Structure 1
Amino acid sequence: MSRTDRPCPICRKPRVPEHSPFCSTRCRDRDLLQWLDEGYAVPGRAAPPAEADED
């Protein structure tokens, strides 16, 4: 399956080049909101105990 054949990662509809990798502005904005609301996370090293207590 090539990159252009993959569906939108949010709603699974066909991608549109203008909004790639999404199908629309709506799906692109939904993905951005997930990042901004900390719905997605990139794994990293665990915080040292002193830093974890400050949060």
Structure 2
Amino acid sequence: MTFFFKRKPVVVAAVVKKPEISIARVAHMKARAEIKREDADTTGELRRTRQTFENNRLI
């Protein structure tokens, strides 16, 4: 399944053991983890890489 966060597809390939944890929740947690990683990235390397990726996709 593919969910879209900030125009970016996040592919969820998670084995959900507990039925109360829905796939959408897992996707949400993944997206938050990624945002946290970008915030903790002081050099801006991840953000630059993503910007380049999005620019290449627009061309």
Name the TM-score, length of structure 2 as normaliser: 0.32
Q: Which has the higher strand share?
A: 2
| Structure of higher CA gyration radius | 1
Q: Which has the higher helix share?
A: 2
Name the TM-score, length of structure 1 as normaliser: 0.33
